């Protein structure tokens, strides 16, 4: 395969021109250093492969946390015309609506620090983690069908959190157009006992504090202040969403011949958006989205209970409120300006965060003056970030930005690097208490397995596709 040609657009944006069967150019947001590393990776080629898909508009995009994924790169964004375009499960990912919720408390680091060990232990007990982890909540198939339609609204009706949370979740915690009949029996079996669980891999719950503020006004609007204790919840749709993706990849693979679609990589298996297969996948994917919204809502509720128990306070005194919740792996019908005209398109964001600008009607009214909150978790040893969306993102990236640090070591390599080390003790020496489902889990998630999220965030900030508001530092973490 010929070497890719990267043309510099500006210091933080590079274009791979249209060639061969590409329908649009590919664009990658990156610093020169990140780009040098990317040239040793297959992820840019995946961004080029996405540019071959029927009905793609403007660009195949990749954020600075780009790394190799299934079909689409993780960090990939692509929008498709509703008439001519396709939908691809690989452009959403196996973990449908993997996402992040940020909670902010009334407490300061100094108030929580003496109770930290007990707090992390209670969180580890109340929020199940690990492969196949099952929660205390087990629902019937019929009830799970309701979850698939109602999302976080179902959880609130069951007493997990309050209506106040819903206003601060992307899509208000419920995606319309979900059809539980489009989901397989196997997916329902896998999801029945997984609500309220973190799962495995890079999923986590992190207790931290506001270490630095970059934008005083935006921080004020978001209710963030220096030293404030925060919680990040990062998880998705668990086995339920995984099975939906797996089921529909097989359906899409068969659809390629039916619709005469030729692809450079079969992992991009897709179907026309208007086709029965495309519509059925959209309806099933939305069920996965709603499951993830409900899952994070339940975890947030159990987190509040854990804080109250560990600190010997009432939940109201702790005051853990939802600042915002974003989705990372999702495809949505949105309105965007394309070549000067308003068009409805299907935006795939795989390992990318929506970053809508100030004034957008889909942002909670309380935040419209500043733009949509963007939550960017890092690794368990360094920092995470809160940003806000911009008008430039709306013009250039279909209102999208990065979603995290992005892996730079495979799990196997990370385990090798961690071999013989006492990673939990190293983190404890930095003031960070870590609990994991296993020693292997912690070793696979060592900080150096990830890019430095500060550099990733800086690229997005300098490129103008999101703006820095605050840096959060971890003090306690439970890993899936």
Q: Which residues are annotated as a binding site?
A: 95, 202-206, 234, 328-329, 377-380, 384, 403-406, 479
Nearest of 327, 255, 324 to residue 288 by alpha carbon:
327
In the structure encoding, which two tokens stand for residue 358, read together?
């100030």
CA distance 384 to 404: 8
Q: What are the catalytic residues? A: 403
Cα–Cα distance, 442 to 200 (Å, whole number):
11
**HSE (side-chain half, CA atoms, 13 Å) at 285:** 28
How many C-beta atoms surround the C-beta of residue 425 within 10 A? 9
Q: Are 361 and 171 in contact (CB under 8 A)?
A: no
**CA 160, chain centre distance (Å):** 22
Residues annotated within a binding site for Mn(2+): 95, 203, 234, 328
How far is Cα 221 from Cα 480, in angstroms, rounded to an integer?
Answer: 32
Query: 3-state DSSP helix/strand/coil percent for the chain, to nearest 5?
Result: 40, 25, 35
DSSP 440-469: HHHHHT-GGGB--HHHHHHHHHHHTSSEEE
d(CA 124, CA 479): 9
Q: Which residues pair with 74 in a beta bridge?
A: 67
Binding-site annotation: residue ranges for GMP: 202-206, 328-329, 377-380, 384, 403-406, 479
């Amino acid at each position: 395969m010929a070497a890719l040609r990267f043309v510099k657009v500006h210091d933080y944006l590079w274009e791979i021109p249209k060639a061969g069967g590409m329908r649009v150019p590919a664009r990658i947001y990156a610093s020169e250093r990140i780009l040098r590393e990317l040239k040793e990776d297959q992820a840019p080629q995946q961004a080029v492969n996405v540019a071959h898909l029927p009905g793609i508009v403007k660009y195949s995009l990749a954020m600075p946390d780009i790394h190799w994924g299934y079909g689409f790169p993780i960090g990939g964004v692509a929008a498709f015309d509703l008439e001519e375009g396709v939908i691809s499960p690989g452009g959403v990912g196996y973990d449908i609506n993997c996402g992040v919720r940020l909670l902010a408390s009334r407490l300061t680091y100094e108030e929580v620090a003496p109770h930290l060990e007990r707090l992390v232990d209670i969180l580890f007990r109340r929020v199940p983690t690990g492969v196949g982890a099952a929660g205390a909540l087990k629902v019937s198939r019929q009830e799970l069908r309701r979850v698939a339609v109602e999302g976080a609204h179902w959880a609130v009706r069951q007493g997990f959190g309050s209506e106040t949370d819903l206003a601060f979740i992307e899509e208000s915690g419920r995606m319309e157009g979900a059809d539980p009949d489009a989901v397989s029996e196997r997916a329902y079996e896998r999801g029945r006992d997984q609500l309220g669980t973190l799962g495995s891999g890079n999923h986590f719950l992190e207790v931290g504090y506001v270490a630095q503020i970059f934008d005083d006004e935006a921080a004020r609007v978001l209710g963030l202040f220096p030293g404030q204790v925060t919680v990040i919840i990062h998880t998705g749709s668990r086995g339920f969403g995984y099975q939906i993706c797996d089921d529909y990849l097989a359906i899409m693979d068969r659809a390629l011949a039916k619709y005469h679609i030729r692809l450079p990589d079969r992992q991009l298996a897709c179907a026309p958006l208007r086709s029965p297969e495309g519509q059925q996948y959209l309806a099933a994917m939305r069920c996965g989205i709603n499951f993830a919204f409900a899952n994070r809502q339940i975890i947030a509720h159990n987190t509040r209970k854990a804080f109250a128990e560990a600190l010997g306070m009432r939940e109201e005194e702790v005051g853990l409120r939802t600042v915002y919740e974003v989705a990372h792996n999702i495809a949505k019908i949105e309105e965007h300006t394309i070549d000067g005209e308003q068009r409805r398109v299907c935006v795939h964001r795989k390992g990318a965060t929506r970053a809508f600008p100030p004034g957008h009607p889909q942002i909670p009214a309380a935040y419209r003056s500043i733009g949509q909150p963007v939550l960017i978790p890092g690794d368990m040893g360094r920092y995470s970030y809160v940003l806000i969306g911009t008008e430039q993102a709306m013009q250039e990236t279909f209102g999208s930005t990065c979603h995290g640090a992005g892996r730079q070591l495979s799990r196997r390599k990370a385990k090798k690097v961690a071999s013989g080390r006492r990673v939990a003790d190293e983190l404890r020496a930095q003031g960070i208490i870590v609990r994991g489902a296993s020693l292997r889990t912690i070793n696979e998630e060592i900080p150096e397995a990830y890019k430095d999220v500060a550099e990733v965030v800086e690229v997005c900030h300098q490129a103008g596709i999101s703006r820095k508001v605050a840096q959060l530092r971890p003090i306690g973490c439970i890993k899936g």
